[in-house]
Structure 1
């Protein structure tokens, strides 16, 4: 018997107190970091406020599968077909530099083309593109915009903390839990810290071997879901560069080497919410139990073998923007953290492109960015 899936209704989301005020503070901190990155990161370029270091831009194709059960054949997944795609692999840190200093949070940003229906972005409703922003962990280390205020600051200062060794690490963990002393004891961010540690301790492996998740919940047509992007087992078994030794440049050379030799594939999977208490929308530190609702494959991301070793690949990658809100209404992001990302990501992209004197324009086709064979 299939589980009874929860139907989406707008009242599943909680209106966080002082949301707009806190969001403006987050935006101000983000904008300071991007402006400072022009000189602080020694590239002469304004960088993203997160996932600053990219490991490669990859050409791909998404095949939406036919014959899906009706609960999964929702939104863009209701119509089988093939869509060109671009994938950006990156480090989650707001800094660039040696991989050994940036941590092991890895992102996979996916952009699909020729998707019918307006997006949820007011300034580009007709882009016909659809984005996923995912990381290599099923949970996120922040639940509320209030907590994000100090966590944002801590991440920007993380290199300074950890450069002090054991004492600096302890101070970082203390400031994380207590909000730098601003939180009352019954509001201390214990769950968030545990989630951060779980993400920070991910294994150092080839980016092709990680499972990537949206972390936050999204609407899935009539239902509520989380989405993940999972390596195809047969492809994963062929990867030669697997466990990566600590090095200043570890992730990009391994990715380049694998894609130069062979094609690859991921499965795009959907997990539907069957219990709002055990599969919460607002608490991103909770991993949804698969025994309540298993992940179901709805599409396949195929990546042909290709050479992404050139500097032009990184240049093309850095002109793109990705946001979890560049989706249709049937896939609306849910919860406070997902909601704050809408304006933060938009403002970050606007500022970064302006400072770098780049045109900010969503591509109409993958060929505009990365022609086949380039």
Structure 2
């Protein structure tokens, strides 16, 4: 009797597993077919601005200020994202000598030119947490003494060209409207509603939830051993491009980072300090661009879609070197905290495009002004010991 029951139960479980496997395969196939249809070209090579974007942007700024206040560190107001820096370090960005003619635009117009820069490496969360926590990681590059009129007027950033990136090729929202819905839910502490705003399955953003989960990745061994992406597109003269920075250890003397204690809360800063300050070993990257081919699905207004590298491979435009240096001083850490990075600190040849970049212009500027005012922070001045 018991034997027959177990045989029956085994057959039932086997049928259920087979059934759900078939349903899963069919669902996966249907999803692949749907997105193959949805994500098919051609697309526009021009920006398309929704009529309600300005109102949504104002609401997002209000939510962002709420988040900033929620994550105040004692009396200091932190960034709304990427609050924890592993360090701001000096860098050199050298344009390739043999750069292709169509890529010689803006700060890349002079082959062989070397720009001095500040490079900020960070975790993505709005509140400092242990480096071992799953998180996004960011890199912001600020070129210095860049001549020419900038997109954002004002003496404070007149000589700067910024590139802002993080370590995933796509963003977990498509546009400003979805960002507003997602961020408002997070600001209210209702994270489930960020991707499931209602009981209606048509409003669920499962694909974007998967992107968000992939973005919250385990920490790398060191912040100089991961790839950073612009996510949103930019102009490069007449071209539409995306940027990325990839590690290029082949451009540096051989170096092996000693094993780090990943249980320490700031082990990524420790790894950076170990390489640049103790072992006096430089770190090398390459700055690359990927050009839009609008005949394929490489959209400007949807940052959740990765542009195909098979259709448009990345091309190196410059080499970035972080030379050996001492950076972990109180003076330099305060300077790092007061630095403002904004992709709109840019020459017209590098104009940010797309909804998320338009949103960044307003939000970054508003939050930076709010943060500096609340912290009574002066304009960031390079420490005297930095040599910049």
Taking structure 2 as the reference length, the TM-score comes to: 0.81
Whether the 8 Å contact between 1:94 and 1:155 is mirrored in structure 2 is: no
Query: Which deviates more, 285-294 or 314-323?
Result: 285-294
Separation of aligned partners in 2, 1:125 and 1:217: 25
**Residue in structure 1 matched with residue 193 of structure 2 by the alignment:** 175
TM superposition shift of 1:247: 3.7
SS in 2 for 1:341: helix
Query: Which deviates more, 201-210 or 352-361?
Result: 201-210
Separation of aligned partners in 1, 2:308 and 2:383: 39
Whether the 8 Å contact between 1:114 and 1:129 is mirrored in structure 2 is: yes
The CA deviation string for residues 73-106 of structure 1, in whole angstroms up to 9 with x for no partner, is 12221113111100111111011132344x3211
Query: Which deviates more, 225-234 or 92-101?
Result: 92-101
Unaligned runs of 5+ in 1: 1-8, 162-171
Do the aligned partners of residues 249 and 349 (structure 1) sit closer, same or farther apart at CA in structure 2, a change above 3 Å counting?
same
Whether the 8 Å contact between 1:306 and 1:373 is mirrored in structure 2 is: no
**Does 2:379 align with 1:347?**
no
The CA deviation string for residues 179-206 of structure 1, in whole angstroms up to 9 with x for no partner, is 3x2x954343233212112211355331
**Residue in structure 1 matched with residue 205 of structure 2 by the alignment:** 189
Q: How does 1:1-374 map to 2 (within 5 A)?
A: 12-38=46-72, 41-42=73-74, 44-80=75-111, 81-101=113-133, 103-124=134-155, 127-156=158-187, 172=191, 174-179=192-197, 181=198, 185-202=201-218, 204-234=220-250, 235=252, 238-241=255-258, 245-260=262-277, 261=279, 262-275=281-294, 277-360=296-379, 368-369=382-383, 371-372=385-386
Query: Which deviates more, 276-285 or 14-23?
Result: 276-285
TM superposition shift of 1:281: 1.2
Unaligned runs of 5+ in 2: 1-42
Bigger Cα Rg: 2
Separation of aligned partners in 2, 1:128 and 1:325: 12
TM superposition shift of 1:207: 0.5
Query: Which deviates more, 55-64 or 27-36?
Result: 27-36
SS in 2 for 1:291: coil
Separation of aligned partners in 1, 2:173 and 2:260: 28
Do the aligned partners of residues 155 and 314 (structure 1) sit closer, same or farther apart at CA in structure 2, a change above 3 Å counting?
farther
Do the aligned partners of residues 51 and 245 (structure 1) sit closer, same or farther apart at CA in structure 2, a change above 3 Å counting?
same
Separation of aligned partners in 1, 2:326 and 2:271: 12
Query: Which deviates more, 222-231 or 279-288?
Result: 279-288
TM superposition shift of 1:214: 0.5
Separation of aligned partners in 1, 2:102 and 2:116: 25
Do the aligned partners of residues 359 and 149 (structure 1) sit closer, same or farther apart at CA in structure 2, a change above 3 Å counting?
same
Separation of aligned partners in 1, 2:123 and 2:384: 21
Whether the 8 Å contact between 2:156 and 2:379 is mirrored in structure 1 is: no
Q: How many residues align?
A: 342
SS in 2 for 1:71: helix
Whether the 8 Å contact between 1:119 and 1:326 is mirrored in structure 2 is: yes
Whether the 8 Å contact between 2:88 and 2:121 is mirrored in structure 1 is: yes
Whether the 8 Å contact between 1:206 and 1:241 is mirrored in structure 2 is: no
Do the aligned partners of residues 126 and 312 (structure 1) sit closer, same or farther apart at CA in structure 2, a change above 3 Å counting?
closer
TM superposition shift of 1:58: 0.3
Separation of aligned partners in 1, 2:298 and 2:260: 32
Whether the 8 Å contact between 1:118 and 1:125 is mirrored in structure 2 is: no
Separation of aligned partners in 2, 1:189 and 1:279: 20
Separation of aligned partners in 2, 1:115 and 1:149: 34
